[in-house]
Structure 1
Amino acid sequence: MILSLASFTSFTSWPTGLAVLAYVVASAWPARTASENTHQDRPVWAALCLGWLAQALAILLDTVAFDGPTLHARFGFAPALSVTTWLVLAVYAIENRRLGLPSVRRALALLAAITVALAWLFPGQTHPQNVPPLAPLHWLTGFASYGLIGAALLHAALLRHAEKQLRAKPVSGQIPHPGSSGGQALGMPLLRLESLTLRFVGAGFVMLSLTLVLGALFAKPWRWDHKTIFSVLSWLVFAVLLIGRARFGWRGRQAVRWLVAGSALLLLAYVGSRFVLEVVLHRATSA
């Protein structure tokens, strides 16, 4: 169910506005150096931290319905996207000390601002209070799988950027970027960056597996709907990727293709199906 703008109070809307404003500032802030670890870039990191904290509060207010005598869950495709960008930004902040890229910061901040606004405009439907005990854990593992796979995609994009950086011929008179030789780019060895990408895939695969198992346990009866089919297909793609990596040493573009394919299926599983139901068909369904 899509709630109208008038249904939101100022208490629930101000964290969204603050998060969007902070992320827009972080996205528009000019890059002073190749790395954002200097005191000159403290304002941009302050804006990112402020936006991240405000987004956390906005997610809480958008997904927990406070109306009525008891609390109950309310979410849909847009909150799922907001949670994903929130988790990916946390990973980026941790990795930034070695992978500081202003262009990545700008893209992620802008994407986070968009998803926060979408979650405010389309908070989803309110779910019944008499849900099975395992349902909240099922939702949490599902959101975690989205965030971890999103982090894997971020590292895959950085990996492709690093590979292009290593293959690019230096311009005459240009000083090479530190760490751009010897199998190293972006301040991290290429193999280490590739390993991190696959670790996030493995962690996301574990969370997705738990999500499917928990969904099968509390779903009565089990339904082979679009969400289930796309989730299982994405699980199979990630399983093939991890097996191919372990048994056949899949690397580089081959691994990234499988990652992108599995991520697209996972996006269609919940976000895609809920977008069609909530926005296109205006139909209320269970999670």
Structure 2
Amino acid sequence: MKVSQFQKGVSSPAAPRPALPLKGPSKQGRVVCELADSKRLLAFRFRAHRLPQDSNQMELSLILFYITLALYAAATVGYMAHLTWLDRPVWKISRWLLFTGFLSQSAGLVLRALEAGYTPVTTRFEAMTFFAWLLVGIYLLVQIRNSMPVVGAFVAPLALVLVLLASFRDMKVAPLAGLLDSPWLPFHVWFAFLGDALLGLSACFAAMYLIQERQLKKKKIHRLYYRLPPLEVLDRWSYRCVSLGFPALTIGMLTGALWLNTVQGAYLDWKDGRQTATLLTWFLYAGLLHGRLTVGWRGRRVAWLNVIGFLVILVTFVHLAHFAR
């Protein structure tokens, strides 16, 4: 039996009417909600990508770390051999070993940064390796324009010690927590570590100055005397590094103070040994520069202050790390 078109329309349920487009504030509210949901989804995906501990990137970064450790050790042996008894070809090989180790460490840091999602300096392991990387990188930049291979005999062992100490720390990537999860982190980190690395290189020049000055004072000229640059060159380069490292350290301290104030409502926490030691070191280098510019301090006194200042930085850094995690 055929059903007429009229009967079909009556007996069948009415088709749902298409929803009218929303207007006014309702439509805007829906758009805002959709954007918020999208933002939360992207944030979730980003944070989920930051924390895996067993990815290929993590494994490769650790392999590169141990390659760096071996290359820095080989470079240290070569530089020390050149400093004491062997001739020119040795330091060339050592320089390439140090440069290759720097490239390996750079690749490892990039992979770790991609794995973590932030500048990898928040753990003891990361802070020590990042410090060593900056120290070697600055020395290699100086070496490009000024051939002073003997400086590598002081930089390479220092970088090796930092990397070796880092190898005994926990190497896992840790999520940002508490006050570390802040936009101030990269600004504070880069300037503070850059200042420490420049002051470390300045201390290397100062140590060479003291060794050279001691030989001249005692009139006992050894093979080392012919390897080291003249006293004037060492004093000039030590001052250059301090004049660049001190402003960087100052900016790092200021950004750290502003960061702390946004979190705790205070610019300085006297109970924090790192902050107190850093402030004392800042006054030491400020006095050193003031004496140099006003009174004309040079030579042995300035060299000793330089070495002592960096030893305070190094002991504080190694003992307390940077963010103590």
1:48 aligns with 2:110: no
- Alpha-carbon distance between aligned partners in 2 of 1:237 and 1:33, rounded to the nearest angstrom: 31
- Alpha-carbon distance between aligned partners in 1 of 2:246 and 2:133, rounded to the nearest angstrom: 19
Give the structure 1 partner of residue 243 of structure 2: 202
The root-mean-square deviation of aligned C-alpha atoms, in Å, is 3.6
- Match 1:14 to one of 63, 75, 79: 63
1:72 aligns with 2:118: yes
- Alpha-carbon distance between aligned partners in 2 of 1:60 and 1:35, rounded to the nearest angstrom: 38
Give the structure 1 partner of residue 228 of structure 2: 186
Change (3 A) 1:144 1:176: closer
Unaligned runs of 5+ in 1: 179-184, 279-283
Indicate if the aligned counterparts of 1:27 and 1:109 stay in contact, CA closer than 8 A. yes
Indicate if the aligned counterparts of 2:134 and 2:193 stay in contact, CA closer than 8 A. no
What are the Cα deviations for residues 61-83 of structure 1, in whole angstroms up to 9, with x where unaligned? 45x2616xxx1344333433333
- Match 2:166 to one of 116, 119, 123: 119
Pairwise CA distance, 1:235: 0.9
Change (3 A) 1:95 1:19: same
Superposed, which structure 2 residues align to 1:80-95 within 5 Å?
A: 80-93=127-140, 94-95=142-143
More RCO (CA 8 Å, sep 6+): 1
Structure having the larger proportion of residues in strand: 1
Indicate if the aligned counterparts of 2:199 and 2:245 stay in contact, CA closer than 8 A. yes
Give the structure 1 partner of residue 47 of structure 2: none
- Match 1:162 to one of 208, 212, 218: 212
- Alpha-carbon distance between aligned partners in 2 of 1:111 and 1:175, rounded to the nearest angstrom: 22
What are the Cα deviations for residues 176-217 of structure 1, in whole angstroms up to 9, with x where unaligned? 966xxxxxx8344x2232122122112111011101111122
- Alpha-carbon distance between aligned partners in 2 of 1:250 and 1:81, rounded to the nearest angstrom: 32
- Counting aligned pairs with the same residue, the percent is 24
1:272 aligns with 2:319: yes
- Alpha-carbon distance between aligned partners in 1 of 2:240 and 2:77, rounded to the nearest angstrom: 32
Superposed, which structure 2 residues align to 1:100-139 within 5 Å?
A: 100-101=149-150, 105-106=152-153, 108-122=155-169, 123=171, 125-128=174-177, 131-139=181-189
Pairwise CA distance, 1:16: 1.1
Amino acid at match of 1:127: L
Change (3 A) 1:270 1:118: closer
- Alpha-carbon distance between aligned partners in 2 of 1:145 and 1:33, rounded to the nearest angstrom: 27
Amino acid at match of 1:200: C
Indicate if the aligned counterparts of 1:227 and 1:268 stay in contact, CA closer than 8 A. no
What are the Cα deviations for residues 127-169 of structure 1, in whole angstroms up to 9, with x where unaligned? 2498332221111111101101101111101111221343353
- Alpha-carbon distance between aligned partners in 2 of 1:27 and 1:176, rounded to the nearest angstrom: 16
Superposed, which structure 2 residues align to 1:236-255 within 5 Å?
A: 236-255=283-302
Q: Count residues with an aligned counterpart.
A: 259
Pairwise CA distance, 1:273: 2.5
- Alpha-carbon distance between aligned partners in 2 of 1:138 and 1:176, rounded to the nearest angstrom: 39
Look at both structures and tell me which one has the larger radius of gyration over its CA atoms. 2
Indicate if the aligned counterparts of 2:81 and 2:90 stay in contact, CA closer than 8 A. no
Pairwise CA distance, 1:108: 3.6
Change (3 A) 1:197 1:35: farther
Change (3 A) 1:99 1:132: same
Indicate if the aligned counterparts of 1:241 and 1:258 stay in contact, CA closer than 8 A. yes
Give the TM-score taking structure 2 as reference length: 0.66
Give the TM-score taking structure 1 as reference length: 0.73
Pairwise CA distance, 1:229: 1.3
Structure having the larger proportion of residues in helix: 2
Q: Residue 297 of structure 2: SS of its match in structure 1?
A: coil
- Alpha-carbon distance between aligned partners in 2 of 1:111 and 1:88, rounded to the nearest angstrom: 9
- Alpha-carbon distance between aligned partners in 2 of 1:242 and 1:154, rounded to the nearest angstrom: 17
